[in-house]
């Protein structure tokens, strides 16, 4: 008996979708727009994450050491920093490497190179470049260095300077931008989710309104709520799945077209590559969103005619 009921609900849902014609097409169209918005939010979120990660990767704190500091002492400081949970990476640049890089940057500036040669030595310091997992952690890293000064074998401090003060304003602004972007992104997702549900509800309710007489007859002959409501829920699910598949199909040429442009504009982020690499995740999100929107909208839209 249960199987027969399920079969009738499934068949009834498909028939409702097939015979509604223009109403079903309009519902699919609106649902397609709704799911396209959700899909766009996925790409926007990925782009923001990529951009913020790229910016964070360029921010660091450099620790410069006195020219008399032994390399072993500097590497000991490096090991201590790498053990901090908030530190992402620490890279060491020797005084010789710094001098080579300086000469390469000023290869066309003969006056600067001549002045450097007249010094008769290497005036540049060895340094450590410290990157944190989160920009807000740089202050605690600097505090750690100041609270535990790096000392030479003779007991003198080997740290010449830390460039945190110069970068603090940039780091603070980046941390604020990351928090604001996440909060605004979350608010946009909530806003579009509410709008999507309202749009889907209105269109599904229109489809159900065209069958109100049929629903009334079924209620009069004693049909159960499940028997009346089930086919419309299935119709909503079918609508959501069809719209999701349509969006997935349309996204492929759209991302291919926009991929090269976004790669040039946003420093390497390619929409087409992201779509191909995360297709399973996007497929799951859109199909699940389509099913949820169609089913939830149908449940709320039919309640008026069930009088429950």
Other Cβ atoms closer than 10 A to 141: 21
Q: pLDDT digit string (tens) for 124-169? A: 778 888 888 877 788 888 888 777 766 554 566 777 788 876 666 7
Q: pLDDT digit string (tens) for 1-28? A: 466 656 665 665 566 666 666 666 777 7
Residues 6+ apart with CB under 8 A from 54: 267, 268
pTM of the predicted model as reported, rounded to 2 decimal places: 0.64
Please check whether residue 41 is in contact with residue 192, taking contact to mean a CB–CB distance below 8 angstroms. yes
Name the token pair of 171: 């780091």
Rounded Cα–Cα distance for residues 95 and 81 (Å):
20
Q: Give the 3-state secondary structure of residue 121.
A: coil
Confidence (pLDDT) at 284: 92
Please check whether residue 237 is in contact with residue 294, taking contact to mean a CB–CB distance below 8 angstroms. yes
Residue 27 to residues 11, 48, 238, 283, 290, Cα–Cα distance (Å): 19, 31, 11, 20, 12
Please check whether residue 64 is in contact with residue 160, taking contact to mean a CB–CB distance below 8 angstroms. yes
Nearest to 232 by CA among 289, 287, 301, 290: 301
Alpha helices in 266-278 (DSSP H): 271-277
Confidence (pLDDT) at 308: 44
pLDDT along the chain (308 residues), means of 10: 59 61 72 82 78 73 81 83 86 80 72 66 78 80 75 64 72 72 73 70 69 66 65 79 89 79 68 85 89 79 62
* Dihedral sign for Cα atoms in the order 235, 241, 246, 250: positive
DSSP 133: S
Confidence (pLDDT) at 84: 85
**Domains of the chain from N-terminus onward:** 2-55+175-306 (no CATH), 67-157 (3.30.70.3040)
Q: CA 296: distance to chain centroid? A: 26
DSSP 69: -
Q: Can you list the positions of beta strands (E) in the chain?
A: 61-65, 87-93, 127-132, 159-162
CA atoms within 13 A on the CB side of 96: 1
How many residues in the chain? 308
């Amino acid at each position: 008996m249960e199987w027969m009921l399920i079969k009738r609900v499934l068949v009834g849902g498909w028939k409702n979708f097939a015979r509604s014609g223009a109403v079903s097409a309009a519902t699919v169209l609106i649902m397609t727009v709704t799911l396209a918005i959700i899909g766009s939010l996925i790409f926007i979120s990925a782009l923001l994450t990529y951009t913020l990660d790229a910016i964070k990767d360029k921010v660091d704190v450099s620790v410069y050491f006195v020219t008399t500091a032994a390399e072993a002492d500097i590497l000991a400081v490096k090991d201590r920093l790498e053990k901090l949970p908030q530190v992402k990476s620490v890279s060491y640049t020797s005084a010789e490497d710094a001098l080579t890089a300086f000469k390469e940057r000023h290869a066309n500036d003969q006056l600067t190179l001549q002045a450097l040669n007249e010094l008769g030595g290497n005036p540049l310091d060895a340094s450590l470049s410290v990157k944190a997992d989160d920009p807000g952690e740089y202050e605690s890293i600097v505090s750690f260095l100041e609270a535990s000064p790096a000392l030479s074998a003779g007991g003198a401090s080997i740290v010449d300077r830390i460039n945190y003060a110069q970068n603090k304003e940039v780091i603070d602004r980046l941390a604020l931008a990351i928090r604001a972007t996440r909060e605004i992104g979350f608010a946009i997702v909530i806003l579009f989710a509410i709008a999507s549900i309202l749009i889907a509800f209105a269109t599904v309710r229109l489809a159900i309104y065209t069958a109100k007489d049929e629903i009334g007859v079924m209620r009069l002959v004693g049909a159960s709520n499940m028997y009346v409501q089930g086919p419309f829920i299935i119709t909503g699910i079918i609508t959501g799945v069809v719209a999701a598949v349509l969006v997935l199909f349309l996204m492929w040429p759209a991302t291919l077209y926009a991929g090269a442009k976004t790669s040039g504009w946003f420093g390497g982020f390619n929409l087409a590559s992201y779509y191909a690499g995360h297709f399973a995740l996007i497929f799951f999100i859109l199909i699940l969103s389509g099913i949820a929107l169609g089913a939830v909208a149908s449940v709320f839209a039919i309640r008026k005619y069930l009088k429950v």
